[in-house]
Structure 1
Amino acid sequence: MALNPETCTRARLARDKRFDGCFYTAVKTTGIFCRPICPARAPLERNVEYFATAAEASAAGYRPCLRCRPDAAPGSPAWGLVSTTVQRALSLMRRDREAQSIEQLAERLGISSRYLRKLFTEHVGLSPLQVWQTERALFAFSLLRDTSLPVSEIAFASGFNSLRRFNGVFRDVYRRTPSEVRREEREGRASRVGSPESVRLYLSYRPPFDWPQLLSFFSARALLGVEQVIHGDTPAAGIYQRSFELEGQRGLLRVRNQPEKGRLEVEVIAGRSGAVLYQVREKLRRLFDLDADTEEIHRHLAADPLLARVLEQSPDVRLPGAWDPFEYALRAILGQQISVAAATTIAGRLVSAYGEAFVGPDGQEYRLFPGPEQLAEADFSSIGVTRTRAQTLRNFVAATRNGEIDFSEPELETWCQQMTALPGIGDWTAHYTAMRGLSMPDAFPASDLGVLIALGTGDKKATPKQALARAEDWRPWRAYAALLLWQSLKLRQTA
């Protein structure tokens, strides 16, 4: 992937946090690659080369720096520059704890394994296996340094069902064994506080990051018993909490912001937390849109005068995602043609009626959002929806169970076709679930009332056709533009 050496040089010499995770500096004389913010003495330019991703640097024979820790860097926006098929493949590789064979991955994408290898070679310069191994070794390193989990549990959490294979891959990437890294960590500082039932993860992001705005967004939509925003002394001190079930493990997670370190602290409490850590990390990165290329999105959308005015007030634009796409699709169907507050109330009734209760580690009762199997026989008559809406919900659950609805990273057009083929689901719901439930950056609910009011003149709303025409200039970030349009209505009310 092409990089601008002059930009990289200025960024690394200034230790500019905005470029953290955007590229890596490899030092030829030491064989080590670093983040742009590495506190070590900057090497001479003639001794360095630049890579867009940690996987590329590792494949070139460099090992990760133990001081700046590339494992802790935000996700690379370089992946967003590759082909759509490769992006979908990368997302699928990260969704599950265990690795998939190239044949399995290609089948899920509907292409041949030979063509998938060709795409990775052409767009990434690496094989899918090289990317998977490097990313999982970096994740394992973070667990070795930040938790007290046993090495065997870390190997399992990182997707390796063989300790021997884990040791081999880790040694190839770090030039030392996992046990050596753990021993060095214990010698360097006191061992981490924690247990396999309670583990802390750290998720880095590039500034700016408007944590209070994200918390406000989720607070207005929090489901009783499932989600909670715990407000602190200041908006920045708030906590996001939710219940979950992954890999048969039920638990809680709590997320706090550490702005001085440019990261989120995540406390995961589950019976065997190691089995779910990788999936928790990936879900939270999407939920809070931590890997957004905010600089590029801001630059692109600010070309529109209306969006530029909003960006002046809110320079950080992130797309709030969803913990689970099925959960969010159900909520979007419930939210058709009613307010956010009303939709949240009805979704809370759905959880109360069909979600399974469990006692958390703090002794309080929590609920799990029901999945397709729990809702297979539900008639939804008790949650306060019309008979037509109840039938739409039943149709959606049935379509999910029989495979008509595919959540495994479909393309935007394919997703919308799947959704609108079901009676009672229109274009707004399809695009809104793509936007939030699947984190598709170019989804755009053109018929949304707020969007049409924001784009209108005077008391006259825009038409969906006019909205789509104007949104052409916002591609591929139309979902972010929709968020800014909604924010513009709030700014208009306070003006």
Structure 2
Amino acid sequence: MAMSDFGERRAGGRSRLLAMNEMSTPIIAAAPLDPDQCYRAIEAKDARFDGRFFVCVSTTGIYCRPVCPARVPKRQHCSFVPSAAAAEAAGFRSCLRCRPETAPGTPAWAGTAATVSRALRLIEEGALDEGRLEDLAARLGLGERQLRRLFLAHVGAGPQAVAANRRLLTAKQLISDTRMPLADVAFAAGYQSLRRFNDAIRTAYGVAPTEIRRASETQAGSSIRIRLGYRPPFDFNSVLSYLSSRALPGVERIGAGRYARSFNLGGAKGFLTVQPAASGHALEARVTMLDASATALPIRAIAARLRRLFDLDAEPGAIAAAFARDPLIGPRLKRAPGLRVPGAFDGFELAVRAILGQQISVKGATTIAGRIVAKFGEAIAGDDGGVTHVFPSPARLARADLSGLGLTGGRIATLKSLAGAVASGALDFTPRESLEAKIAELTALPGIGAWTAHYICLRALGEPDAFPSSDLGLRKAAGKGEPVPAAALEALSERWRPWRGYAALALWTT
């Protein structure tokens, strides 16, 4: 089946989106924890429960993962919480042995209310490091009190506690796993001053950052290592295979079980590689800066983007259970355990690639993307081969003469309109109050229809419920070779909420 990106070739013109009311989708709360089951899991040190909950030990004031190598505490001293943030909010500090900062994302952080999920992604990217809570709430279309109430109900801690927890755990990982100067660690983790950084570490761990660094066995090196946990199963090779055929020439390189690319985040340029970690359910990223003297290292932003790229926050067990009895999707997921939706490291890059993929083949779109990178991207040196450029900035493409690259006049107009909107700040690739709001924002641009908008939301924003029901490939798969009407597929997809994106991927790829 010939497909331009996920599905078959689609026109780039404007189209009317069928109404979908996200507010009618019920909020999915995390199931209450059963203390006896949790205790049996920590007695067995069962890795399948890693990240699903944390154990707080009253006699030590420490919280641990279920797989902690320390001696199992007595039952009467244990309480259980669904997230690290909830443990921190209750006054417990993280264990230095099992290192909760490396655990997979907890189910309270995935598959809950769509608004809370979007807020968590923004917090992960640093929305509360400098910004105010009321600004975050406004971006999500909520009041500040309403956002706090949602977080307390579904995460077990308020937004600011979650943000503080992420800063703390990021700092702890950078102290232990890198040779970054501690001043750089502080700012990379999101602290606004060294004093706040030192106070937070001392309060949480009872020792100074230098003592944690001294106790670490990490060897010095020229690259920064980031460990990215996930919940198994995870088919890393299938994600690489998908990304490989759509890799941006000169910007991305995929081969031998490894993903590599260049980046430019806030003026900090470098390379990164990602491959499976030597142990545990995790990927390992190695980040090398082009300018060794750079101090504004975007470690948290890189980690958040890589988690979205490889869909590491998915809860495969919950997704599989939701589709288990579905006659169309259930059997497909059984044949593809660990299915993830390939995301994007950079939303603008993905949007450009989506527009290039309208009405032409994957290979044709990739060829044109390579021409754009070679002509307008910034050349860099230092990679071991294949990665030669940084993708051109929105401002550069908005001013660029794109004629002579194999693009139609309409496609050029769409690309320049997109680049101009991103360069001016009128459009960004961060989650908003609803999927419908972002679809409307994207389809307001000339040449971007509902199919392209859903595709961008699915991959660039990590929206799990995005679903391009007009796609011919989906319609054929749903009809077992005979295309069903788009309206019929839209109606059918209602039973797949809030994970319609996974249903789409199962139909497209299995």
Q: Distance in 2 between matches of 1:402 and 1:79?
A: 32
Residue type of the partner of 2:349? E
Q: Distance in 2 between matches of 1:118 and 1:30?
A: 30
Which runs of no fewer than 5 residues in structure 1 stay unpaired?
Answer: 232-237, 489-495
> Quick check: 1:192 aligned with 2:211?
no
- Alpha-carbon deviation of 1:149? 1.5
Q: Which residue of the partner structure matches residue 256 of structure 1?
A: 275
> Quick check: 1:59 aligned with 2:96?
no
Q: Deviations over 1:143-201 (max 9, x none)?
A: 1111111211111111113111111122222222212211222xxx4x51214xx2111
Q: Deviations over 1:250-299 (max 9, x none)?
A: 11001111264221121100023761211111111111111110100111
Q: Which residue of the partner structure matches residue 21 of structure 2?
A: none
* Compared CA separation, residues 7 and 342, structure 1 to 2 (3 A): farther
SS in 2 for 1:193: coil
Q: Which residue of the partner structure matches residue 16 of structure 1?
A: 46
Q: Any conservation in 2 of the 1:63–1:175 contact (CA below 8 Å)?
A: no
Q: Distance in 2 between matches of 1:17 and 1:173?
A: 25
SS in 1 for 2:173: helix
Q: Any conservation in 1 of the 2:261–2:387 contact (CA below 8 Å)?
A: no
**Identity over the aligned pairs, expressed in percent?**
48
Residue type of the partner of 2:271? L
Residue type of the partner of 1:44? K
Which runs of no fewer than 5 residues in structure 2 stay unpaired?
Answer: 1-29
1:38 corresponds to which of 58, 64, 68: 68
* Larger RCO: 1 or 2 (CA < 8 Å, sep 6+): 2
TM-score computed with the length of structure 2 as normaliser: 0.88
Please tell me the root mean square deviation across aligned C-alpha atoms, in Å.
2.0
Q: Which residue of the partner structure matches residue 198 of structure 2?
A: 167
1:405 corresponds to which of 424, 427, 430: 427
> Quick check: 1:456 aligned with 2:475?
no
SS in 1 for 2:394: coil
Q: Any conservation in 2 of the 1:444–1:479 contact (CA below 8 Å)?
A: yes
Greater displacement, 270-279 / 107-116 = 107-116
Residue type of the partner of 2:369? A
2:211 corresponds to which of 180, 183, 194: 180
Q: Which residue of the partner structure matches residue 14 of structure 2?
A: none
- Alpha-carbon deviation of 1:81? 4.7
Q: Which residue of the partner structure matches residue 448 of structure 2?
A: 425
Q: Which residue of the partner structure matches residue 268 of structure 1?
A: 287
- Alpha-carbon deviation of 1:37? 1.5
SS in 2 for 1:380: coil
Residue type of the partner of 2:97? R
- Alpha-carbon deviation of 1:115? 3.9
Q: Deviations over 1:39-62 (max 9, x none)?
A: 222223222111111011111111
Residue type of the partner of 1:61? G
> Quick check: 1:226 aligned with 2:255?
no
Q: Distance in 2 between matches of 1:379 and 1:303?
A: 52
Q: Distance in 2 between matches of 1:75 and 1:359?
A: 35
1:469 corresponds to which of 484, 491, 500: 491
2:140 corresponds to which of 96, 105, 109: 109
- Alpha-carbon deviation of 1:16? 2.6
1:149 corresponds to which of 159, 180, 186: 180
Match runs of 1:210-249 below 5 Å: 210-231=235-256, 238-249=257-268
> Quick check: 1:311 aligned with 2:336?
no
Q: Any conservation in 2 of the 1:431–1:444 contact (CA below 8 Å)?
A: yes
Q: Any conservation in 2 of the 1:330–1:393 contact (CA below 8 Å)?
A: yes
Match runs of 1:304-383 below 5 Å: 304-360=326-382, 362=384, 366-383=388-405
Residue type of the partner of 1:344? T
Q: Any conservation in 2 of the 1:331–1:343 contact (CA below 8 Å)?
A: yes
- Alpha-carbon deviation of 1:65? 1.1
Q: Any conservation in 2 of the 1:103–1:113 contact (CA below 8 Å)?
A: yes
Q: Any conservation in 1 of the 2:248–2:370 contact (CA below 8 Å)?
A: yes
SS in 2 for 1:359: coil
Q: Any conservation in 2 of the 1:17–1:206 contact (CA below 8 Å)?
A: no
Q: Distance in 1 between matches of 2:245 and 2:156?
A: 43
Q: Any conservation in 1 of the 2:82–2:108 contact (CA below 8 Å)?
A: yes
Q: Any conservation in 1 of the 2:347–2:461 contact (CA below 8 Å)?
A: yes
Q: Any conservation in 2 of the 1:379–1:394 contact (CA below 8 Å)?
A: no
Q: Which residue of the partner structure matches residue 235 of structure 1?
A: none
SS in 2 for 1:350: helix
Q: Distance in 2 between matches of 1:363 and 1:443?
A: 36
Q: Distance in 2 between matches of 1:446 and 1:254?
A: 34
SS in 2 for 1:268: strand
* Compared CA separation, residues 464 and 364, structure 1 to 2 (3 A): closer
Greater displacement, 308-317 / 80-89 = 80-89
Match runs of 1:428-443 below 5 Å: 428-443=451-466
Q: Which residue of the partner structure matches residue 18 of structure 2?
A: none
Q: Distance in 1 between matches of 2:450 and 2:200?
A: 46
Residue type of the partner of 1:40? A
Q: Any conservation in 2 of the 1:28–1:48 contact (CA below 8 Å)?
A: yes
Q: Any conservation in 1 of the 2:443–2:453 contact (CA below 8 Å)?
A: yes
Q: Distance in 1 between matches of 2:152 and 2:53?
A: 19
* Compared CA separation, residues 107 and 273, structure 1 to 2 (3 A): same
Q: Any conservation in 2 of the 1:17–1:207 contact (CA below 8 Å)?
A: no
- Alpha-carbon deviation of 1:371? 2.1
Q: Distance in 1 between matches of 2:492 and 2:301?
A: 37
Q: Any conservation in 1 of the 2:272–2:285 contact (CA below 8 Å)?
A: yes
Q: Which residue of the partner structure matches residue 234 of structure 1?
A: none
Count of residues paired in the alignment: 475
Q: Any conservation in 1 of the 2:376–2:397 contact (CA below 8 Å)?
A: yes
Q: Distance in 2 between matches of 1:328 and 1:471?
A: 25
* Compared CA separation, residues 263 and 6, structure 1 to 2 (3 A): same
Residue type of the partner of 1:104? D
Q: Distance in 1 between matches of 2:117 and 2:334?
A: 31
Q: Which residue of the partner structure matches residue 3 of structure 1?
A: 33
Q: Which residue of the partner structure matches residue 201 of structure 1?
A: 226
Match runs of 1:116-155 below 5 Å: 116-155=147-186
Q: Any conservation in 1 of the 2:341–2:502 contact (CA below 8 Å)?
A: yes
* Compared CA separation, residues 116 and 300, structure 1 to 2 (3 A): closer
Q: Any conservation in 1 of the 2:86–2:157 contact (CA below 8 Å)?
A: yes
Q: Distance in 2 between matches of 1:404 and 1:156?
A: 28
